[in-house]
């Protein structure tokens, strides 16, 4: 392989999600000092010229590479955990990285009642607090009330839905959103009825509200399309009513080039937690919305053993 080709291969091995370990070993292992120097001089994305006339790693990229080398390990650790422990640790981590409201909402709203209860039990065991207690203590914004209510939920999972009540509550939601046009309504995050509906109703009931909102009230927009100015309420509605579309959107955002580290972490979280649940439906939703197979997107963006592990988990949904 020509030196220019090796430089390009090495650059790709360092870029994207994860690292291509085989390429690093096969190329770097045989390079002489002069070749490594040429690579440093020709790779200004990774190296900068020090004032003392040597090429040194850009500190930002060193930190990024450390994250990329750890990405496979973190995904494997998550995969081997009991789902309750996994969710508990993801909840705890999300509190100390922002907090990441979307992760708290995602876990609260896409798990079954028993799964969420299990995560809360694991949280007690691991951290000697309840997740509700920690959210109430650490969140100091309007999201607190919604988050505590969602994480405390134990929803009815049966098949019975009172359609008349669902219609009335669709009207309630419509009224709350439309009052925003007057300029004097309180935020939906502070609306007691909205929080009650989202945190107590069964998912089938909420899907009926979602349907009635579109069919009987607006005739055009879906409920989540009308919530662009209310991101936490929108994420809640999506996770409860259209979770596969929600996950496909999270993956698409996370698989773009040059996204931040927090966004990249979503790839492992979503694929690991959904591989044995609804990955087939997520892949179908992704293909429908973006016109590309999710596995192809992973192949284009990810590297090395991390890529292989993600593709292996994706394939589980085909069985």
pLDDT in tens, the chain (319 residues): 566 688 888 888 888 899 999 999 999 889 999 999 998 988 888 899 888 989 998 898 889 889 999 999 999 999 999 999 999 999 999 999 889 999 999 999 999 999 999 999 999 999 999 999 999 999 999 999 999 999 999 999 999 999 999 999 999 999 998 885 544 446 899 999 999 999 999 999 999 999 999 887 655 778 988 898 899 999 999 999 999 999 999 999 999 988 999 999 999 999 999 999 999 999 999 999 999 999 999 999 999 999 999 999 999 867 6
Q: What is the 3-state secondary structure (H, E, C) of the chain?
A: CCHHHHHHHHHHHHCCECCCHHHHHHHHCCCCHHHHHHHHHHCCCCEEECCCCCEEECHHHHHHHHHHHHHHHHHHHHHHCCHHHHHHHHHHHHHCCCCCHHHHHHHHHHCCHHHHHHHHHHHHHHHCCCHHHHHHHHCCCCHHHHHHHHHCCCCCCCCCCCHHHHHHHHHHHHHHHHHHHHCCCCCHHHCHHHHHHHHHCCHHHHHHHHHHHHHHHHCCCCCHHHHCCCHHHHHHHHHHHCHHHHHHHHHHHHCCCCCCHHHHHHHHHHHHHHCCCCHHHHHHHHHHHHCCCHHHHHHHHECHHHHHHHHHHHHHCCC
Domains, the chain, ordered by start: 3-57 (no CATH), 243-319 (1.10.220.10)
pLDDT at 103: 98
CB-CB contact of 105 with 147 (8 Å): yes
Read off the pTM: 0.92
pLDDT in the model for residue 10: 87
Residue 309: what pLDDT?
Answer: 97
User: Per-residue pLDDT tens for 283-312?
Assistant: 999 999 999 999 999 999 999 999 999 999
Q: What are the tens digits of pLDDT across the range 252-292? A: 999 998 899 999 999 999 999 999 999 999 999 999 999 99
């Amino acid at each position: 392989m020509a030196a220019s080709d090796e430089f390009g291969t090495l650059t790709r091995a360092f870029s994207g999600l994860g690292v291509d370990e085989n390429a690093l070993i096969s190329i770097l292992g045989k390079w002489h000092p002069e070749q490594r120097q040429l690579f440093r001089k020709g790779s200004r994305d990774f190296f900068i010229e020090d004032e003392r006339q040597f090429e040194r790693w850009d500190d930002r990229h060193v930190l990024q590479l450390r994250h990329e080398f750890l990405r496979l390990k973190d995904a494997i650790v998550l995969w081997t955990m009991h789902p309750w422990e996994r969710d508990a640790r993801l909840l705890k981590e999300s509190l100390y990285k922002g907090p990441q409201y979307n992760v708290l909402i995602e876990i609260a709203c896409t798990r079954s009642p028993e799964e969420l209860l299990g995560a809360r039990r694991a949280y007690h065991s691991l951290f000697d607090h309840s997740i509700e207690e920690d959210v109430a203590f650490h969140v100091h914004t309007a999201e607190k009330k919604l988050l505590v209510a969602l994480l405390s939920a134990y929803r009815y999972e049966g098949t019975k839905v009172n359609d008349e009540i669902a219609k009335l509550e669709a009207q309630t939601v419509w009224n709350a959103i439309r009052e925003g046009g007057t300029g004097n309504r309180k935020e939906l995050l502070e609306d007691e009825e909205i929080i009650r509906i989202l945190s107590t109703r069964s998912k089938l009931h909420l899907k009926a509200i979602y349907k009635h909102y579109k069919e009987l009230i607006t005739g055009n927009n879906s409920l989540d399309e009308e919530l662009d100015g209310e991101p936490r309420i929108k994420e809640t509605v999506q996770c409860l009513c259209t979770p596969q579309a929600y996950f496909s959107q999270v993956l698409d955002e996370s698989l773009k080039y040059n996204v931040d580290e927090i966004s990249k972490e979503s790839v492992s979280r979503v694929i690991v937690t959904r591989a044995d649940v609804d990955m087939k439906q997520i892949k179908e939703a992704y293909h429908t919305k973006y016109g590309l197979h999710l596995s192809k997107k992973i192949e284009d963006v990810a590297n090395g053993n991390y890529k292989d592990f993600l593709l292996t988990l994706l394939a589980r949904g085909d069985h």
